[in-house]
Structure 1
Amino acid sequence: MAFLDLDGLRCHVQRLDPRDGGPPAATAVLLHGLLTDSLASYYFTLAPTLAAAGVAVVMYDQRGHGRTGRPPTGYRLERFVDDLMGLLDRLEVAAPVHLLGNSFGGTVAFGLAARHPERVLSILAIESEPATLAWAGKLDGILRRAEAELAEESTLAWVAAQRGAHTARLARSAGRLLAGTSLARDIPASRLPTEAELRAIHCPVLAVYGTESDLADQAAWLDGLLPDCRSAFVPGQEHSVLVEAPDTVRELTLSWLREQGVELRGPVADPALVPWRGAR
């Protein structure tokens, strides 16, 4: 465990070196989602697989989440992108990296690629989308509703009964984050990249969706918007693809990195097992 100061933010960072002790075949930065998510989602799913394949892994708790500091304000998307840039600079990761973003983490990845394309080799976005006016409106509704509902003990009791004690603890922590910070108001007020800025994201992008997720309907739009983007669908899954279908995510990720020219040193997914576009 390590903590770095990012312009006054105490940031919790975890790094995994290639397990075989050899030089990294590439560097992957793993970005988690909002509210109930943290780097733990990757630590127990994807990160060990990448390290075993010879990839250097960087993962961190985003501001307000996990063990990273929780300032009362400063939660616009551009601050999250600044944090990512600051982290790469502090870790002296000068070469471009592969970004893997879950939900809001993918939005941060798109934000970095739009502002600093020279720092990004590829993006694998799981159940995610770039920041647009529609995205801001949707997040405004989701966050305001969550702020109100997670302040109610009856909601937390329902979560505990339906989803278990662990999920209830995450929900309670998310409620404290929303109650104690400006996150619910800052995210929708973020600076949004223009369509031209999004179209200028030229790195390869793989967008992964659950077939039962509302986000799957955006696949054709995103494939058409970005110059080098395609979609993959995970059958039977909704939004929680990373934690509900980790084996599939591992297969997708290894296959994707190999396609990007990364010389993986561990077992690589059989392409026949990867649900590329058309398997929805």
Structure 2
Amino acid sequence: MPFFETADRTRLAYEDYGTGAPIVFAASWALDADMWEYQVPFFVERGYRCVLLDRRGHGRSDRPSGGYDLDTLADDLAALIEHLGLREVTLVGHSTGGAEVARYLARHGEERVARVAFVSAVLPFLMRTEDNPEGAPEELSEAAVGRFLTDRPKWFHDRAQGFFATHLGNDVSPALVGLGVQRCLATSPVATVQIWRASFRADHRAALRAITVPALVVHGAADQSARVEVTGRRTAALVPGCAYKEYPTGGHGIFVTHKDRLNADLLDFIKGETGS
């Protein structure tokens, strides 16, 4: 696995498969590049180059004590794109990865980007404020942090079935559910807490309104981690001219449960065949 070094000398791992037009995948909170195992072969077989980052504190990358704010995470993503000299990139971000993509565009612009896809993204703004009454109170977020600090394995285990919305008939084996929990628990506990807080407090509304490249928003209607009425639908309303796809039985883990539909939707989008 190759590595590169960021401006603050953090060593980050990445994976690079295939040739052709590049797709850069930004992983979910507490997950690493391995989460995209059902997407990479699909796109490589169709002539695309797939680049995946283990963000700091995740996977095989360094686990520094800091740098888990969204500005730094977006700069890490930019450093990877520049390290590889990528242009005409399709950015695909899931959950917090979607927030990183939005912050990347706000900080680094669209010069290297052809299009963006926000999948189950924690956008546009999760925290309740005077001008964001749809958000959740910060006390609710901090209560979750308290549970991480008390029994992090139990928190992930208790939410694993809901993550995949198995109660709606999504066929996910116990082994696969367990693997998801295992991957989350391998993430730095410090990164887990700090990125949770950073994602919850980040306001992306202005950045989303400023997007000019083609954009796709995909969200599950049964997402328990990022409720669709607070995230996906509001994001789609903010991004000019974006295409919006909502999966009625989709939870947060649609990259697994709805992988065939998601891959097809992403492929149509990249080929310019997605309608709004």
Q: Is the 8 A contact 1:76 1:183 kept in 2?
A: no
Q: Look up the match of 1:200.
A: 210
Q: What TM-score, normalized to structure 2?
A: 0.77
Residue 256 (structure 2) aligned to one of 226, 236, 243: 243
Query: Unpaired segments of 5 or more residues in structure 2?
Result: 128-134, 167-172
Structure 1 partner of 2:243: 230
For residues 224 and 103 of structure 1, what CA distance do their matches in structure 2 show?
A: 18
Equivalent pairs, count: 251
Q: How far, CA to CA, are the matches of 1:114 and 1:158 in structure 2?
A: 32
Partner AA of 1:203 in structure 2? V
Give 3-state SS (helix, strand or coil) of 1:124's partner.
strand
Runs of 5+ consecutive residues of structure 1 not aligned to the other structure: 19-23, 261-270
Q: What RMSD, in angstroms, separates the aligned Cα atoms of the two structures?
A: 3.2
Pick one of 34, 38, 41 that aligns with 2:32.
38
2-side partners of 1:219 and 1:105: how far apart? Answer: 14
Name the larger-Rg structure.
1
- Which amino acid in 2 is paired with 1:188? R
Offset at residue 195 of structure 1 (A): 3.5
Give the conservation status (yes or no) of the 8 Å contact 1:144–1:184.
no
Q: Deviations over 1:4-33 (max 9, x none)?
A: 222322211111123xxxxx2x21101110
Task: Give the drift of 1:189.
Answer: 4.4
Equivalent residues of 2:15, 2:52 under 8 A apart: yes
In structure 1, C-alpha distance between the alignment counterparts of 2:39 and 2:186, rounded to whole Å = 28
Letter in 1 for 2:237: G
- Aligned residue number for residue 92 of structure 2: 100
CA displacement, residues 128-179 of structure 1 (integer Å, 9 cap, x when unaligned): 1335252794755544433433166x9869979x984665465356456454
Structure 2 vs 1, CA of residues 144 and 88 (structure 1 numbering), >3 Å: closer, same or farther? farther
In the alignment, the residues of structure 2 paired with residue 176 and residue 14 of structure 1 have an alpha-carbon distance, to the nearest angstrom, of: 18
Q: Report the 3-state secondary structure (helix = DSSP H, G, I; strand = E; otherwise coil) of the residue aligned with 1:58.
A: strand
Per-residue deviation, 1:118:
2.0
Residues 31-70 of structure 1 show CA distances to partners (whole Å, capped at 9, x for unaligned) of 11011x211121x211111112221111121111111111
Q: Which of the numbers 133, 144, 147 marks the counterpart of 1:145?
A: 147
Q: TM-score, normalised by structure 1?
A: 0.76
SS of the residue 2:12 aligns to = strand
Paired AA for residue 184 in structure 1:
V
1:183-231 superposed Cα distances (whole Å, 9 cap, x missing partner): 4145424784564333112222211111222532244422221212231
For residues 194 and 3 of structure 1, do their structure 2 counterparts lie closer, same or farther at Cα, with a shift above 3 Å needed? closer
Partner residue, 2:83: 90
2:55 aligned partner, one-letter code: Q
Q: How big is the shift at 1:125?
A: 1.2
Q: How far apart, CA to CA, are the structure 2 residues paired with 1:177 and 1:29? A: 21
CA distance in structure 1 between the partners assigned to 2:25 and 2:33 by the alignment: 8
Structure 1 pair 144–173 and aligned structure 2 pair: CA distance change class (3 A): farther
Greater CA drift, 62-71 or 194-203: 194-203
Percent identity over the alignment? 24
Q: What is the one-letter code of the residue matched to 2:80?
A: L
